[in-house]
A and B are shown apart, each in its own frame.
Chain A
Amino acid sequence: MVTLKINGKEHQVDAAEDMPLLWVIRDIIGFTGTKFGCGKGLCGACMVLMDGNAINSCQLPVSLAVGKELITVEGEQENLQRLQKSWEKFNVPQCGFCQSGQLITATALLTSKANPTEEDIHNAMGRNICRCGTYQRIKNAINHSVELKNKG
């Protein structure tokens, strides 16, 4: 049994220690907003926030997530909710499958850099693949989110 703190709630989970956090979240706890895309940490679909950093949950053994603050796309975090609003305004998603991961990466970015440069956005968001090609709208939505925050 391990105890995970996800979106502010504790979950007692019976899972093998080497099981990646992704599958614990999806198959055992049952939050399906976090997606499986590649299983190799290459695409970013499985991103979750761990102590504020965006991590590929498909690569993290669940034992290393114990005692950490985990937030998924279903969770509450100021930047996440503001970004979700911007995502809606810019009609960002096409199929939408990668967008949970995109939003988590963007949330971590804006949490560490309130006013990212274009290069900062490129570097951070370069971890996430969108096969539909929504990148331009993602970038616009991130910038809009920054504007919203700066306006207060």
Chain B
Amino acid sequence: MKDVQNVSRRSFIKGIGLASGGLIIASGASLFNSCSVETKELIAFNPNLFVQLNSDGSLILVASRSEMGQGVRTSLTSVIADEMEADWDRVRISQAVGDVNYGDQNTDGSKSVRLLYEEMRKIGAATKAVLIAAAAKKWEIAAEDCHAENHFIFNTQGDKIAFGDLVEIAKTLEVPEEVQLKDPKDFKYIGKYLTSKDVKNLANGSAVFGLDARLEGMKFAAVKRCPVAFGKVVSFDKTAALKIAGVIDVVEIPMIIKPFGPLGGVAVVATNTWAAFKGRDALEVVWDLGDNKAYDSEKYMEEITANVHKKGAVVKSLGDVDQAFEKASKTIESSYQLPHLVHAPMEVPNAVAWVTEGSCEIWAPAQEPQRTRTEVSDFLEISEDNVTVNVTFLGGGFGRKSKPDYVVEAAAISKAINAPVQVVWTREDDIQHSYYHTVASQYMKGGLDENGKVTGWLHRFAFPSIGSTFSPGADEPASWEAASAANVPFEIPNMQFETGKAPAHVRIGWLRSVINIPHGFAINVFADELAHEAGIDPLEFRLNLIGSDRIEETQNDYKYDTARLKHVLKTAAKNAEWGKELPEGHAMGLAVHYSFLSYVASVVEVSVINDKVKVHNIHSVIDCGLAVNKNTITAQMEGAAIFGMSLAFYGKITAKDGAIEQSNFHDYQMIRMPQVPNIHVEIVENSERPTGVGEPGVPVIAPAIVNAIFKASGKRYKNLPLMDYKLV
């Protein structure tokens, strides 16, 4: 905390003047105890934005992506350290501020390691090359006769010199553009089980989350927002609020109609959070509820369900499904309904803003620091150069903290009161004013021939699109949203994919795994239904559906390899001992799904006893290409299993008269310790390019549970959450 209070406004990075040593340890970095280093007495070598080697040998590596539990700070910096032959124990991590010079910082879509792996390797290798050149110069020998190892350069004579002792010479040398990367067999950190660099501070309470940022003279604010999305303030009475001890001021925040604009409302500013909350409760506001006041999510589900029970707009068609169904020996129809979800990260949205004449500094848990900077700069009508976005630890993100509406709120209030301020959302605010995971209705029809082979596959879906947040009025899925259904890699000769209309009445956003949740659910449950109709074991049936080894077309330069997809499924089945005898009332179900360029399968064992479901074991397998940090990948898969269980059993956000009906963890429940199964994770060993990890473990869980329940009880639950069937 002291570090934050001592942050001097002069320590702002102006532009990105990182020329002088030590500047990467800018104000943002000082939020992290692990990197509050003094560099005054040290000489620093900064070959690039991501590396600072000090003359005492301490090495500061910059994480440009936001840490929200996915272990990205450790994963990215360990790649640099490995290529650099650095001693991992000498590494401290500094968090980058939001700045385009770091490249894309959008921590979203399970793509940080995927996009930055090669870059981080090159940065490490280039730094190592300069240190080798420096040693060669000092020893007056050829660089070829030197090599780096564990923070030292060695020569063939057996001499060695520490990295830190090479800083002065290294500073005078050119950083090469072409570099030699290590042979992967020599990796020391990549591909191993590294513990997070932050684990100690996260366990002793010293890690600084957004909510923990403190500035001298900082005020606290809570905002009353309209219960209906995009409703407006007509008038408000602040008399009662101002009577609350500790309340200082009441200010109106404008609504800004932009994808990440604040909803607007009335802010109560106080000397502490509690007073701000009490003042907010005491406010009286008259609202114009606006266009969404009639939104009733139950009726809406009926409407979009009707839309998928009639022909929709065809997004992809192979062969002739109508003919396939006519010729089929058996056709099956099914439909699936999945409600809105909300992220509910343990740390609610919050931000500290300090607006002064012509500039602004932000401390926030932000998944997208550059977009945050742009939004604040646009709102304040000042240059981005004068906006600093310091990224704190994020107490969970799951997509919510990609949308910096809450940061703009803080900027608006700070500007109005001319003081630093922390905006704190209550849990109720978080649940009731979010960017919701979509609500989806899906219809599927399949045709089987006399041998149980699937000859036709029709998948219709209707859900409000994330596109509606960017283009108000958009009422059909975006092409990438449709693709997660339409790219299903089943070898079926006749397939068709159709969309139905679904206008949005709340802000629609992305939540961990995004549209793969509803699509992965419907595809995997329907495939299981078809297997049952065909009288074939679900594992064998699914492997047949995926069919031959082949490369499927994708919308990017990564190959979609059906052999890898089958491999994760077979491995999960093997690990779970698929087909083994189980206790009375127990059964297994499976699901397999490709998302975020990774292949995942899960086999779940449940019991259904007295109509109550318990999950006993989950065996998940992921093929995410080269596994950079197996510890964090395993953790992400374990967490994904729990996230998937929470949405399967409890996830349900509903709206009535335009307002969200849930409010806190009593009516938006989470899986807790007593319900936790044994979770077993296997990571497929391979050397393909790294792909997504944070999200792809989620979509398989709910369908695997539903399939297991069917096997155990003969009952097929096609809508989520399962609590609606009183199964928990």
Chain A residues packing against B (C-beta within 8 Å):
16, 19-20, 23, 26-28, 30-40, 42-43, 45, 72-74, 84, 87-88, 91-100, 103, 121-123, 125-126, 128-139
CA gap between A38 and B429 in the complex, in Å: 10
Pick from A37, A43, A91, A126: contact of B196, CB below 8 A: A91
The answer to whether residues A96 and B642 also contact, given A36-B273, A91-B199, A135-B676 and a CB cut-off of 8 A, is no
Minimum CB–CB distance for A73 against chain B, Å:
4
Contact between B274 and A32, CB atoms less than 8 A apart? no
Contact between A72 and B638, CB atoms less than 8 A apart? no
Residue B234 CB within 8 A of the other chain:
no
Contact between A122 and B347, CB atoms less than 8 A apart? no
Residue in B274, B393, B670 whose Cβ sees the most chain A Cβ within 10 Å? B274
Using Cβ atoms and an 8 Å threshold, which residues of chain A touch B227? Answer: none
CA gap between A145 and B664 in the complex, in Å: 32
Pick from A19, A72, A132: contact of B396, CB below 8 A: A132
The answer to whether residues A97 and B203 also contact, given A32-B212, A38-B664, A91-B195 and a CB cut-off of 8 A, is no
Contact between B209 and A97, CB atoms less than 8 A apart? yes
Contact between A95 and B272, CB atoms less than 8 A apart? no
Of B66-74, B114-122, B481-489, which binds chain A? B66-74
Using Cβ atoms and an 8 Å threshold, which residues of chain B touch A16? Answer: 245-246, 274
Cβ-closest chain A residue relative to B637: A133
The answer to whether residues A42 and B69 also contact, given A36-B211, A133-B671, A138-B673 and a CB cut-off of 8 A, is no
The answer to whether residues A42 and B666 also contact, given A84-B204, A95-B395, A130-B346 and a CB cut-off of 8 A, is yes
Contact between A39 and B277, CB atoms less than 8 A apart? yes
Residue B427 CB within 8 A of the other chain:
yes
Using Cβ atoms and an 8 Å threshold, which residues of chain B touch A42? Answer: 664-666
Using Cβ atoms and an 8 Å threshold, which residues of chain A touch B346? Answer: 35, 37, 43, 45, 95, 97-98, 129-132
The answer to whether residues A133 and B638 also contact, given A16-B245, A95-B393 and a CB cut-off of 8 A, is yes
1/0 per residue, CB under 8 A from A, across B384-414: the answer is 0000000001111110000000000000000
Minimum CB–CB distance for A49 against chain B, Å:
13
Residue B714 CB within 8 A of the other chain:
no
Pick from A96, A125, A131: contact of B673, CB below 8 A: A125
1/0 per residue, CB under 8 A from A, across B121-158: the answer is 00000000000000000000000000000000000000
Residue B672 CB within 8 A of the other chain:
yes
Contact between B273 and A32, CB atoms less than 8 A apart? no
The answer to whether residues A133 and B427 also contact, given A40-B664, A122-B673 and a CB cut-off of 8 A, is no
Contact between A94 and B635, CB atoms less than 8 A apart? yes
CA gap between A73 and B202 in the complex, in Å: 10
Contact between B635 and A38, CB atoms less than 8 A apart? no
Contact between A136 and B679, CB atoms less than 8 A apart? yes
The answer to whether residues A96 and B198 also contact, given A128-B673, A132-B69 and a CB cut-off of 8 A, is yes
Count of B interface residues, CB-CB < 8 Å: 66
Q: A93-B202, A96-B207 are in contact. List 8 more A-B contacts (CB 8 A).
A: A40-B664, A94-B635, A94-B639, A96-B203, A97-B345, A99-B202, A125-B672, A136-B678
CA gap between A126 and B271 in the complex, in Å: 34
CB < 8 Å A-B pair total: 182
Residue B719 CB within 8 A of the other chain:
no
Pick from B71, B200, B205, B674: contact of A94, CB below 8 A: B71
Minimum CB–CB distance for B647 against chain A, Å:
12
Contact between A95 and B638, CB atoms less than 8 A apart? no
Minimum CB–CB distance for A4 against chain B, Å:
15
Minimum CB–CB distance for A55 against chain B, Å:
17
Top 8 A-B residue pairs of the complex, sorted by shortest distance between their CB atoms: A33-B205, A133-B642, A97-B395, A96-B202, A94-B69, A95-B69, A133-B639, A32-B212
Minimum CB–CB distance for A124 against chain B, Å:
8
A-B contact pairs, 6 of them (CB 8 A): A23-B272, A31-B205, A38-B665, A73-B204, A91-B199, A96-B198
CA gap between A26 and B632 in the complex, in Å: 30
Pick from B195, B214, B274: contact of A88, CB below 8 A: B195
Using Cβ atoms and an 8 Å threshold, which residues of chain A touch B426? Answer: 39
Contact between B635 and A134, CB atoms less than 8 A apart? yes
Residue B353 CB within 8 A of the other chain:
no
Cβ-closest chain A residue relative to B397: A95
Contact between A97 and B396, CB atoms less than 8 A apart? yes
Using Cβ atoms and an 8 Å threshold, which residues of chain B touch A33? Answer: 204-206
The answer to whether residues A95 and B396 also contact, given A121-B673, A135-B676 and a CB cut-off of 8 A, is yes
Minimum CB–CB distance for B66 against chain A, Å:
11
Pick from B199, B646, B678: contact of A92, CB below 8 A: B199
Contact between A72 and B199, CB atoms less than 8 A apart? no
Contact between B203 and A84, CB atoms less than 8 A apart? yes
Using Cβ atoms and an 8 Å threshold, which residues of chain A touch B273? Answer: 23, 26-27, 36
CA gap between A45 and B670 in the complex, in Å: 14
Pick from A35, A98, A99: contact of B211, CB below 8 A: A35
The answer to whether residues A126 and B638 also contact, given A94-B69, A96-B69 and a CB cut-off of 8 A, is no
CA gap between A73 and B205 in the complex, in Å: 6
Contact between B211 and A32, CB atoms less than 8 A apart? yes
Cβ-closest chain B residue relative to A62: B274
Contact between A122 and B344, CB atoms less than 8 A apart? no
Using Cβ atoms and an 8 Å threshold, which residues of chain A touch B664? Answer: 38-40, 42
Using Cβ atoms and an 8 Å threshold, which residues of chain B touch A19? Answer: 272, 274
Pick from A34, A97, A135, A137: contact of B347, CB below 8 A: A97
B residues 210-228 near A (Cβ < 8 Å) are 211-212, 214, 220
Minimum CB–CB distance for B339 against chain A, Å:
18
Cβ-closest chain A residue relative to B196: A91
Using Cβ atoms and an 8 Å threshold, which residues of chain A touch B670? Answer: 129, 131
Using Cβ atoms and an 8 Å threshold, which residues of chain A touch B200? Answer: 84, 88
The answer to whether residues A93 and B665 also contact, given A32-B205, A133-B639, A136-B638 and a CB cut-off of 8 A, is no
Pick from A34, A35, A103, A137: contact of B638, CB below 8 A: A137
Contact between A131 and B635, CB atoms less than 8 A apart? no
